[in-house]
Amino acid sequence: MSAGPETGATALKCTEHGTPTRLTCAECGTPICPECLVKTPVGLKCPTHAEAVAAPKVKVRRSNLATVVIGVLAVVGAVAALLSVLGGGESVDTAGQGGPAVPLPGRIETPQVGLMAADGSGKRLVTNRPRAFDGSPTWSPDGSRIAFESVVDGRRSIWVVQADGDGIRRLTEGAGADSAPAWSPDGMRIAFMSDRDGNPDIYVMNADGSSPRRLTDAPGEDGFPAWAPDGSRVAFVSDRSGELRVWTVAPDGSGPAMLVDVPAVPDRVAFFPDGRRVVMTSDRDGNPELYVVSLDGAAPVRLTDNLASDGEPSISPDGSRVVFASDRDGTPAVFVMGTDGTGVRKLTTGPRGFAPAWSPDGAHIAYVTDPG
C-alpha cells in the first residue's frame, strides 16, 4: 500500500485504471479493481464478461480515496517525465509562487498544494508548478512551513515550502519513491514512506532532509506515517500481519507493535490531541469510512456512512473537528465535521480537493487542488 508500488507481494495492476489490485476476472483472468469489477452470481467479472451473465449486475464498493489519488499521481508523474524529455515550458525546480494560478499558453495544469481558511474562504495556491504533481501536505509545528510530496521529472520526492509559497526546495533525492511526509511534533524530524531499499517502509530524516534512516524493515509494506502528539511513537499502516492494520514504532525503530486491531485501508491516521484516540479509515463494514478508535480497546465509532469513499482525516488542534476528503458528490472534495460525525459541511467546490491538513493554530487548512 505504497504511493505507487502494488499493495502486497502478489498485487497486480487493474487493466482499466492502472490501480493496485489483487482481483481478477473469473472468466478471463484480467486484473480488475473495485472501481470497475462487477459482482455476479458466478464470481467477479470484468465489465465485458459480466454482460454475458443474465442475472442483474451489482457494483461492489469503490476503491478507497487514497488508492484513487495514488493512481492519478502515477499517471501525472509519467506525463511530467514525458514533458521533461520533450523540453520547453516553465522550469519546475524554481521557487514557488503563492496566489492564484494564471494559466499560461500551452501550460499543463496539475494538482498543487492549496491553502484556505478553516471555514473554506480565502482559497489560494501555495505551490504553482505546472509540470509537478504536488500532494500530501503536512505542517511544521510552528505553522511556518509545509512539507509535501511531489512528482517532478518522473521522480516522487519530499519537498518543503514556506506557507506563503516562497522558498520551495527538495528534501530527498534518489531512485526510490518518497511520499506521505509527516512532521514530528518537535519540528526536528520528518517521517515518510519510501521504497528506496526495494520495499515500502517508513523512514525518518532531519527536517532539513539530512540523515535519512529506515525505521521499519519487515515483510510486507509499511506506509502513511503519523506521529503521536508526544512524539514517542510513529503510527503507520502495514500488512505485515497478513491484513492491513495500524502499527506503531518508536522514532529509533524499536518496539514495533500493532496499535489497533481494526481493518485499515492505505490511508493516514490522525491522532486526537490527547493521544488516546485516533480517526482512521476502515472498510470493516464494507466501504471505506471514517471511524474514531480508542486505543484502550473500546469498539470503534463510525463517523461517516455513505456509498462514497471517505478518508484522509486531519483533526483540528482543539480536537473538536475533523477535516477529510470524500467523493460523495461525484468529485473529490474537502469536508469538515465534528469529531462525533455531526455537522458535515463541504469546504471546496469546483476543482478537486483532497489530502487536507489542519494548521497548528487551527486557522487554516492546506490541501491538494487543481489550479483554476
Global model pTM greater than 0.85: no
> 116 falls in which pLDDT band (50, 70, 90)?
very high
pLDDT of residue 131: 84
Query: Residues with Cβ < 8 Å from 359, sequence gap 6 or more?
Result: 139, 143, 163, 365, 366
How high is the pLDDT of residue 153?
82
Percent of the chain with pLDDT over 70: 75
26 pLDDT higher than 60: yes
pLDDT of residue 45: 67
Secondary structure of residue 145 in the 3-state scheme: strand
Which position has the higher pLDDT, 325 or 85? 325
* Alpha carbon of residue 230 to chain centroid: 23
Q: State yes or no: pLDDT of 11 exceeds 70.
A: no
Q: State the pLDDT confidence band at 65, using cuts at 50, 70 and 90.
A: very low
Task: Give the residue carrying C-alpha cell 470493516.
Answer: 284
Quick check: 363 and 117 in contact, CB under 8 A?
yes
List beta partners, residue 249.
234
Confidence check: pLDDT of 58 > 90: no
Q: Of 42-51, 64-73, 87-96, which has the strongest mean pLDDT?
A: 42-51
pLDDT in tens, 205-246: 999 999 999 999 998 999 999 999 999 999 999 999 999 999
Of 359, 361, 349, the closest CA to residue 115 belongs to 359
Of the pLDDT bands very low, low, confident and very high (cuts 50, 70, 90), residue 37 is: low
Residue 193 phi/psi, 5-degree rounding, is: -105, 145
At 37, which amino acid appears?
L
Q: Which helix (H) or strand (E) holds 66?
A: helix 65-86
Quickly state the pLDDT bin for 371 (edges 50, 70, 90): confident
Confidence of residue 255 (pLDDT cuts 50, 70, 90): very high
Q: What pLDDT sits at residue 19?
A: 66
Q: Considering just the CA atoms, what is the radius of gyration of the chain in Å?
A: 20
8 A C-beta contact, residue 263 and residue 243: yes
Q: How far apart are CA 102 and CA 327, in angstroms?
A: 27
Q: Which has more confidence, 186 or 84?
A: 186
